[in-house]
Amino acid sequence: MARTLSLIVRNLVFTVVVPGLGGVWAPWWIMTRHGGTATPVAWAAVPVIAAGAALYLWCVWNFASVGRGTPGLWDAPRRVVAAGPYRWVRNPIYIAALLVVLGVLPTDVGDGDTAG
């Protein structure tokens, strides 16, 4: 039980630090740092982002359950992961990140002026 809890915590920390900061917080900060508000221009992008997030979570699940590790180089899986999306693609996390980035592209950054 302690080993499983440790694995969950390590994967959560990786997810918050790497894709959380680099894929969510940093782009949001860049787009809104001058008082602007980021709003989706195309709501069709939301399912693309959701698909990328779901694929990422599936990959992390496989790293933890099959490989007993995390996607981080400092805590790599102990066993080769060839299940789930890794059965068809060598690095599906890259595809997940690409989907999220493509979904974020149609975002309009307003100037922060609510008066119009």
E-assigned strand segments in the chain: 38-40, 107-109
Give the global pTM. 0.78
Could you read off the pLDDT of 47-78 as tens digits, one per residue? 998 999 999 999 999 988 888 888 888 888 88
Give the per-residue pLDDT at 116: 43
User: Which residues of the chain carry a pLDDT beneath 70?
Assistant: 38, 40, 108-116
Percent of the chain scored above 90 by pLDDT? 25
* Beta-ladder partners of 6: none
Domain assignment present for 87: yes
Give the per-residue pLDDT at 85: 93
Q: Which two tokens stand for residue 77?
A: 């899986």
Q: How many domains in the chain?
A: 1
Domain assignment present for 116: no
* Distance in angstroms (rounded) separating the CA atoms of residues 42 and 90: 31
78 neighbors 91 (Cβ within 8 angstroms): no
Provide the domain limits for residue 74.
2-108
Give the per-residue pLDDT at 111: 56
Domain assignment present for 15: yes
